[in-house]
Chain A
């Protein structure tokens, strides 16, 4: 660790991993509810489990991004954080607000929560992924603005690099597009239209800038390749991301009541969205092959390479699978979407966070890398989690294809629930694989406490 204030990142990373565990547990609960519908009913109904599963994902990824930012910005800007204290305050406010929100989801019926938290003043709740009560949403805005102020001030007083610039644009974009979660027109078409400005322009827009910056940082550190080379790649990748991703929003506008030209715009532009992800994979492998040092943290390098590959497969290939309007006409809202969602989120955002944590956490604890034994354990966790996600994705894809076949094709298509009964076997397989994923996650956490072998301190 080169700067004292980088230590602010540590609680963010710990909270991120803690919430990740919560996310997986709720995933397992709802995965079980897929096959045993009344499991934990009425305590935790399916819709609540799903809300907690997806909200925890988003919140822990945000904790990861914020931790990563606090860690990498001082090194990039070559200066201490503008205010480490502010960094810790935003951490605690965010954590408490997040925890209270989850408790609210679990303790009271959603409608009661809405009434308790002033949803009638400005109705923003009840929309997928943006279920948070108004006060939580306002809290998120305050936390993110405070965080951005702190980070922007740090960059302003220090060295300005491409990585910090791209990261800042991504983070500011994240804040700006979140504001659309407050806009809830009564026209359902407009509601969905702008809902995607938060949801799509996050994950297929500004988050990719954050991803690119974090990946570039880790690659510079573990490979020692010239900054100029990595920065040029970064610029080309983000340019492609924005060219394809912004108008690519159109692939959500096929069937919601928007004009027909979106079927063309959405299909053409989003069909090109795999390109920046493919470039990211080539980029990561290229940089590691041209490495000019052997960094002792092999696990972090593995995560960085894995991010490139899995983001391309999950976001790129599985996204392309159902992004063309004529295909999406059949697959819309089926398990194909769920398959894509799982691999894309894992491959892009989960893995880049784990890569960053894997690289930074040993540094924050005063060593260059964990011991060989700990790293072996961590690499096992990499393969367990990654292979599990691949299988979860394959099972859900199979379920989705079968679902489309039974429910949406032929002369006598089945009803939704009848079709669900037919694909039950895939839900069972998915649930079992989910436990393997949890095992991988436990091993990841365990690797940080592994006492065997000697930690490496030489740079």
Chain B
């Protein structure tokens, strides 16, 4: 590289972060992808049931959560940009903000699950709710896993474990977090909105 100052607009020859996380990300996307396709086929056979059940979902909380996750992803972008300038503390603060929004997402989701379960709905209610609950629950667990990964990176950043030259860990965590975000961006319209 000729220019020593790295910018956030830098073009990568390889994907950012550790290559191993990309195997993991593609595997996760594949697993969710298969589920999305299964959803599509199941819906095609039960259009009325799906449309009817969809009416009972809380689209507002889903929409708010979409904004929450996208904003959180933006904070991770800022965290990566900060560490590229060697600003460890700033990086850690942006990660903390991203994790904070992760908690907001979880809180809204828990409230939504509570309301759903209170009406006696379960995985066995019908095929639509089976998909709605399992997709959102699997995604929920991925948010938690992402937050654990981000927390580990934040702690390392606070201890000065990353620098402008060596910050592959931050990029790795950010890549995973963007995937969690991406999944929701597909999941929300697919399950809550499209009919």
User: Chain A interface (Cβ within 8 Å of chain B)?
Assistant: 232, 235-236, 239-240, 243-244, 259-261, 264-265, 267-269, 271-272, 275, 279
Contacts and interface: CB of A to CB of B under 8 A. Distances in A.
B123 interface: yes
A240 B28 CA distance: 9
A269 B38 CA distance: 12
Contacts of B34: 268, 271-272
Closest 9 CB pairs of A and B: A236-B23, A261-B130, A261-B123, A259-B124, A232-B20, A268-B34, A236-B20, A240-B27, A268-B35
B118 interface: no
B31 A269 contact: yes
A117 B123 CA distance: 43
A240 B31 CA distance: 10
Interface residues of B, number: 16
Given A232-B20, A235-B20, A264 B31 contact: no
Given A232-B20, A236-B20, A271-B34, A260 B27 contact: no
Contact of B38 (A236, A264, A275): A264
A261 B20 contact: no
B20 A268 contact: no
Nearest to B30: A272
A260 B124 contact: yes
A264 B134 contact: yes
A239 B27 CA distance: 10
Given A259-B123, A259-B124, A243 B134 contact: no
A267 B134 CA distance: 14
Contacts of B23: 236, 240, 279
Interface string B70-100: 0000000000000000000000000000000
B24 interface: yes
A243 B38 contact: no
A335 B18 CA distance: 44
Contact of A239 (B24, B38, B131): B24
B89 to A, nearest CB: 30
Nearest to B32: A268
10 contacts: A240-B23, A243-B28, A260-B130, A261-B130, A264-B38, A268-B34, A269-B31, A272-B27, A272-B34, A275-B30
Interface in B104-137: 123-124, 130-131, 134
Interface in B9-47: 19-20, 23-24, 27-28, 30-31, 34-35, 38
Nearest to B42: A264
B134 A261 contact: yes
A260 B131 CA distance: 12
A261 B31 contact: no
A225 B57 CA distance: 53
B158 to A, nearest CB: 25
Nearest to B18: A232
Contacts of A236: 20, 23-24
A275 B134 contact: no
B134 A265 contact: yes
A275 B124 contact: no
B48 to A, nearest CB: 19
Contacts of A269: 31
